Amino acid sequence: MALTGMQIYKLLPKTNCKDCGLPTCMAFAMQVAAKQKALTDCPHVSEESKEELSEASSPPMRLVKIGPEGKQFEIGQETVMFRHEEKFHRPCGIAVRIPSSLSDEEALAKSEKINKSVFERVGQTLKVQLCAVEIDGAADPAGRAKLVAEKSEVPLILMGKNADAMKKAAEAIKDLRPLVGGADASNIDGFIDIAASLKLPVAISGKNLEELADLTSKAKEKGIEDIILSFNTENLGDTLRWLTLARRAALRKNFRALGYPALVEVTTKDAEEETVVASAYAAKYAGIVIIDNVEPWELLPIMVVVQNVYTDPQVPNTVEAKLYEVGNPDENSPVMFTTNFSLTYFSVESEVERSKVPAYICVVETEGLGVLNAYAGDKISAEKVVKTLNEQKVAEKVKHRKLIIPGLLPIFRAEIEDTSDWKEVIIGPETAREIPAFLTNNWKS
C-alpha cells in the first residue's frame, strides 16, 4: 500500500541538507509519496529505512535511461492516466529505424539525416531523440552497430530477435548504453543474458499482456530493472488497448510487472499512415515510437502532437514580457503589441519575419492568455498597454509615434491616443497570418 508523506518523512534523516535538490526532508517526502522522486534520490537515507520503504515508495512506473551519461534519453515515471489530473512528465521520443537492408553508405546518410532533424516551434526545440538500428539481417552485427554509433548524435536502440547477433552488436557499443530491443518468449533467456551481463536496458514483448507480465517478472527475478514494454502495430485498436491497460494496471493497481514505459514499433509501409498511427500512439501512451521515415513533413505532425500532449496544463505557456526586435528594426520600423501567450507571440513573430519588414513587438504580461481571452479576463487594457510601452521605453527606439494594435482590440484605439504619446494608433489584422500583407501594404513610417 502507498505510504503517506508523513510516514516516509519519519524514516528520513531530517537534516534538511538539500542534497536531494529539495529545500527540506518534508518536501522530499511529499515528492516520494507523489511518486515524483525515488527514495534513492536522497543519498543519506539509511539501509534500514531503504529496506522498509523501497518497495512501497518506488514509483509505479520505472524511469528508464537510454544512452551514455550526458545525452541520455529518459522515459517513464509517469503518475497519471490523464493529463488534466496533473501532467505527463516525459515526452514520447521519436526513434527512426535504420534497416539492415541499407548499405553502409545509406545507413550513414540516414543517420546524418536523423541528426539534422531539429526544428524550432513556439520557442522549443523539437528533434528525433533516438536511432533504431536493425541488427537481424546485418552481415556484421557489431560492425553495423559501431558504424551507426560513430555517426549518431542521439542514443541508440538495437533491434533484432537473434540473441547471438544482438549480443555481438550490444557488446560492440555497450559503453553507449543502447536499448536492447526484440526480447520475447522465444529468446528471453538470451536477452536476459545480454541485459544482465552488459547492464543494458531491454525491451520485451509478449503475445498478450499476461505473457508480457510473465516475461518482465522473469527478467526482474534475474536482476534486470531497466525494462521497456514493447508492442507492435499489427492492429491499431489492440495496441492502443494494450497500452492503456498496461498503464492502468501500473498506475491504478500498482501492478509491478507492467510498471514500465512502453515502446511501439510502427511497421506500416505507407508514410502518411505511419505519421497518423505514430501520432496516435504518442498521444496514448507510448514512451517511444519507432518509425521509418525522416522527412520533415512526416516528423513534424508527430512532434507537434507530442509537444501539445506533454505541455503542463497547469502552467501557461508564456514568453517574457519585453520588447522584442524582429529582423534589424531601426527608428522608422513599425511597433506593435501582443500578449505573452507563447503561441500568440510566436505566431506574430514568425509572420513578421515572413513579411521581411523588421519590427518591434512589445509583449504585454497577460498571464499567458491570448488576446481575446486576456481582454475577456481583464488581463489587458489600454492603460496596461500604455504602461508597458513606457516601461519598455519603446518611444526611445523609434522617431514616429505610430502603434499597430491587434485587430481584435479596436476598442483600445481612442484611449491609447488620448492618454499617451502614441498619437496614431493603427488597427492591425485580426489574425497573425494577415500580418505580412498588412505590413507590406500599409506600413509607411
What is the pairing mode between strands 402-405 and 424-427?
parallel
Q: Pick the binder of ligand SF4 from 8, 28, 154, 347 (CB under 6 A).
A: 28
- Stretch touching ligand SF4 by CB under 6 A, among 11-19, 88-96, 171-179, 340-348: 11-19
Q: What is the DSSP string of 97-112?
A: EE-TTS-HHHHHHHHH
Q: Check binding of 7 to ligand SF4 (CB under 6 A).
A: no
> What region, left, alpha or beta, does residue 426 occupy, with left being phi > 0 and alpha being psi -120 to 50 degrees?
beta
Q: Check binding of 20 to ligand SF4 (CB under 6 A).
A: yes
Q: Check binding of 11 to ligand SF4 (CB under 6 A).
A: no
Between 26 and 185, name the residue whose CB sits nearer to ligand SF4. Answer: 26
What residues are paired with 132 via a beta bridge? 97, 157
Q: Check binding of 245 to ligand SF4 (CB under 6 A).
A: no
Between 25 and 94, name the residue whose CB sits nearer to ligand SF4. Answer: 25
- CA 206 – CA 227 distance, rounded (Å): 13
Between 37 and 256, name the residue whose CB sits nearer to ligand SF4. Answer: 37
Binding mask 34-53 for ligand SF4 (x = CB under 6 A): --------x-x---------
Q: Pick the binder of ligand SF4 from 2, 6, 18, 296 (CB under 6 A).
A: 18
Composition of the chain by helix, strand, coil, percent to 5: 45, 20, 40
- CA 348 – CA 188 distance, rounded (Å): 54
Count other Cβ atoms within 10 Å, centred on residue 230. 24
Q: Are 205 and 178 in contact (CB under 8 A)?
A: no
Q: Check binding of 5 to ligand SF4 (CB under 6 A).
A: no
Question: Does residue 64 sit in helix, strand or coil?
Answer: strand
Count other Cβ atoms within 10 Å, centred on residue 15. 10
Q: Pick the binder of ligand SF4 from 13, 143, 327, 407 (CB under 6 A).
A: 13
Q: How far is the CB of 17 from ligand SF4 (least distance, A)?
A: 4
Cell triple for 53: 520503504
- CA 420 – CA 196 distance, rounded (Å): 71
Q: Check binding of 9 to ligand SF4 (CB under 6 A).
A: no
Between 13 and 327, name the residue whose CB sits nearer to ligand SF4. Answer: 13
Between 41 and 365, name the residue whose CB sits nearer to ligand SF4. Answer: 41
Q: Check binding of 10 to ligand SF4 (CB under 6 A).
A: no
Q: Check binding of 12 to ligand SF4 (CB under 6 A).
A: yes
CA pseudo-torsion sign 340, 344, 348, 349 = positive
- CA 424 – CA 404 distance, rounded (Å): 9
- Stretch touching ligand SF4 by CB under 6 A, among 21-29, 108-116, 126-134, 351-359: 21-29
Q: Check binding of 217 to ligand SF4 (CB under 6 A).
A: no
Q: Check binding of 170 to ligand SF4 (CB under 6 A).
A: no
Between 27 and 142, name the residue whose CB sits nearer to ligand SF4. Answer: 27
Q: Pick the binder of ligand SF4 from 3, 22, 276, 321 (CB under 6 A).
A: 22
**Helices of type H across 152-259:** 163-172, 188-198, 209-221, 236-251
Q: Check binding of 3 to ligand SF4 (CB under 6 A).
A: no
- CA 205 – CA 215 distance, rounded (Å): 8
Q: Check binding of 346 to ligand SF4 (CB under 6 A).
A: no
Of 35, 28, 60, 24, the closest CA to residue 259 belongs to 60
Q: Check binding of 17 to ligand SF4 (CB under 6 A).
A: yes
- Stretch touching ligand SF4 by CB under 6 A, among 22-30, 55-63, 395-403, 430-438: 22-30
Q: How far is the CB of 37 from ligand SF4 (least distance, A)?
A: 9
Q: Check binding of 6 to ligand SF4 (CB under 6 A).
A: no
CA 419 to chain centre: 45
Using the CB atoms, write b or e for 377-405: b if 16+ within 10 Å.
eebbbbebbbebbeebebeebbebebbbb
Q: How far is the CB of 3 from ligand SF4 (least distance, A)?
A: 15
Residues that bind ligand SF4 (CB under 6 A): 12-13, 15-20, 22, 25, 28, 42, 44
